[in-house]
Amino acid sequence: MSEHKSFLPENLTGFTIFLDRDGVINQPIVEDYAKQPADFILVDGVLEALGILQRMAKHVVMVTNQQGVHRRLMSEKDLENIHLKLYNSLKDKGVSYFDASFYAPYLKGESHEWRKPKNGMLLKAKSYFPDIDWNKAIMVGDSPGDMLLADTLGITKVKIANPQFSFNNQDFTYSDFPAFVAAMSK
């Protein structure tokens, strides 16, 4: 584990931003999953915010737990179709897709190295992008697992408010992802 650096930089040049999906990019569904594209509703302003973030940061990587696949509540094809909806929404706005996108279909109880709060997805991202510097990385998420994941590598933790979760181990809190990007782009 690296030493934790709790700060937000004046700009994101050289930074890698790791984004959770549910509750950050799309509206959360309480005690359920976006199991098909119709269930996947983007947070207002998220497409524009992603475009701004991509121009500011070195890498933008989506990391998401999706145990609904393992539980057979949805198939991998359903998940692909949801991500295709996101891709097409971004494309329609002239915004690129993420530099990388990873999902962990494993059950919470399995303790798989890819399932947050374990850091397998972030380590895989680093294998693709060796220039990722953990001292210049930020995890943006809405759950305790996202913050615990950030702790494993000592990266800055940004909480996106979600009434489903009550925790207070984040470094910074924003009402939503577009508010975080707006604060970073001032």
Whether residue 7 lies inside any domain: the answer is no
Which range marks the domain in which residue 122 is found? 16-184
Whether residue 6 lies inside any domain: the answer is no
177: number of CA atoms within 13 Å, CB side?
A: 29
20 is catalytic: yes
Whether residue 8 lies inside any domain: the answer is no
pLDDT above 60 for 60? yes
Whether residue 105 lies inside any domain: the answer is yes
Once rounded to an integer, what is the mean pLDDT over residues 53-65? Answer: 96
How many domains does one find in the chain?
1
What are the b/e assignments for 159-170, b being 16+ CB within 10 Å? bbebeebeeeeb
For residue 102, give the CATH number of its domain.
Answer: 3.40.50.1000
Whether residue 11 lies inside any domain: the answer is no
pLDDT digits (tens, 9 = 90+) for 121-164: 999 999 999 999 999 999 999 999 999 999 999 999 999 998 88
Whether residue 135 lies inside any domain: the answer is yes
| Catalytic site residue from 22, 78, 142, 146 | 22
- d(Cα 131, Cα 134) in Å, to the nearest integer? 10
78 is catalytic: no
Q: Is the pTM of this model over 0.75?
A: yes
Strand ranges across the sheet with 100-104? 100-104, 59-65, 16-19, 137-141, 156-160, 172-174
Whether residue 69 lies inside any domain: the answer is yes
The whole-number pLDDT of residue 7 equals: 60
